[in-house]
Amino acid sequence: MKFEVTILGSSSATPVYNRNPSAQLLNCNEKFYLIDCGEGTQQQLIRYGFKANKIDYIFISHLHGDHYFGLIGLLSSLHLNGRIKPMKIFAPAALAEILALQFQHSETIIRYPIEFEPIQADTPSMIFENADLSVETIILNHRIPCTGFSFVQKKRLRKLVVEKLEAEMVPIEYYPLLKRGVDLELPDGRVLLNLDYTTDSEDPKKYCYCSDTLYDERYLESIRGCDTLYHEATFLHEMLERANQTHHTTALQAAQIAQTTGARKLLIGHFSSRYKTLLPLLEEARSVFENTELATEGNTFTI
């Protein structure tokens, strides 16, 4: 089962050369989930070979422009390109008003349904679930209400040992029951113990996205034990005072969070435009948490 994230934007506040504002595309079993939508996101989708019309779910963390200014353009392009299937958007409630105003004054009637789900930034809650994954909010500490998102795979059915089943001439109509873990008694009297004919599926993976936030231990439990943690790392730790003033995190703090919560891999992003090279931020994070990577444009990470 595919579970991977592609980085479309890694810059904070403003675009800089080779770095766009925040946006990521999560692929779970060929279903696509857009996480934040900074300016230029649809150009990034084109650049990295993704079809925007395959996106059915959009998650917006908060209403600072570098996290959603690309949304109106993306939705408008989908309209112009003939989309008819619904788009589900999970975002702060005020975004519905912003979108309505944009479409009102451009006299645009979107041809496809936009299903808007307002999210709250006061307590963690499950906001979405389908056959592939569930999504819960992570309550962050920023200058305005802000949430991260935890994407957790569903446990898959057990895997059949097909060669053994075929050798025993087990009728194929019994396969679905075996996948569900059922022991069987066949009409000919044979008893099939499930453990003899199936193997367990892989443990479900967890991806946590922490956008803009001050270091705050209150959200650590929501991200504990994730396989891959994306955490903003706007500044080097030498600028801790500036990070605190702007409600952001340093690369060192992001690494400490990954270590404390037992993450397997850390991705850092949302870099200040003051940094022309990102190596110092990577080195700072790796000094605490070795399995750290830069969440830079075009990179795809398997969760």
Q: What is the mean pLDDT of residues 149-175?
A: 88
Distance (Å, rounded) from C-alpha 220 to C-alpha 149? Answer: 13
Please identify which of the residues 36, 56, 66, 200 carries the catalytic annotation: 66
- In CATH terms, the superfamily for domain 3-156+202-302 is Ribonuclease Z/Hydroxyacylglutathione hydrolase-like (3.60.15.10)
In DSSP terms, 301 is beta-bridged to 5
| Across 92-101, 105-114, 168-177, least confident range | 168-177
Among 233, 271, 280, 283, residue whose Cα is nearest residue 253: 233
Quickly state the pLDDT bin for 255 (edges 50, 70, 90).
very high
| Residue 273 clears pLDDT 90, i.e. is over it | yes
| Residue 157 clears pLDDT 80, i.e. is over it | no
Residues 135, 150 contacting (CB under 8 angstroms): yes
pLDDT at res. 95: 98
How much is the pTM?
A: 0.91
Identify the H or E element spanning 302: strand 300-302
Distance (Å, rounded) from C-alpha 228 to C-alpha 263? Answer: 6
Q: What separation in angstroms does the CA of 1 have from each of 186, 194, 267?
A: 31, 22, 21
3-state class percentages of the chain: helix first, strand second, coil last, to nearest 5: 30, 30, 40
pLDDT tens column, 205-245:
999 999 999 999 999 999 999 999 999 999 999 999 999 99
Among 261, 271, 260, residue whose Cα is nearest residue 208: 261
Q: At how many degrees (to 10) do helices 279-286 and 251-261 cross?
A: 30
Task: Respond yes or no: is residue 203 known to be catalytic.
Answer: no
pLDDT tens column, 13-60:
999 989 999 999 999 999 999 999 999 999 999 999 999 999 999 999
Domain extents for the chain? 3-156+202-302, 159-193
- The token pair at 221 is 């439990």
Quickly state the pLDDT bin for 165 (edges 50, 70, 90).
confident
Q: What is the mean pLDDT of residues 288-295?
A: 98
Longest Cα separation, the chain: 75
Quickly state the pLDDT bin for 160 (edges 50, 70, 90).
confident
Q: How far is CA 39 from the centre of its chain?
A: 18
| Residue 176 clears pLDDT 90, i.e. is over it | no
pLDDT at res. 179: 83
The DSSP code sequence of 250-286 is BHHHHHHHHHHHT-SEEEEE-B-TT-S--HHHHHHHH
pLDDT tens column, 180-215:
888 888 888 888 888 888 888 888 999 999 999 999
- The token pair at 190 is 């044979």
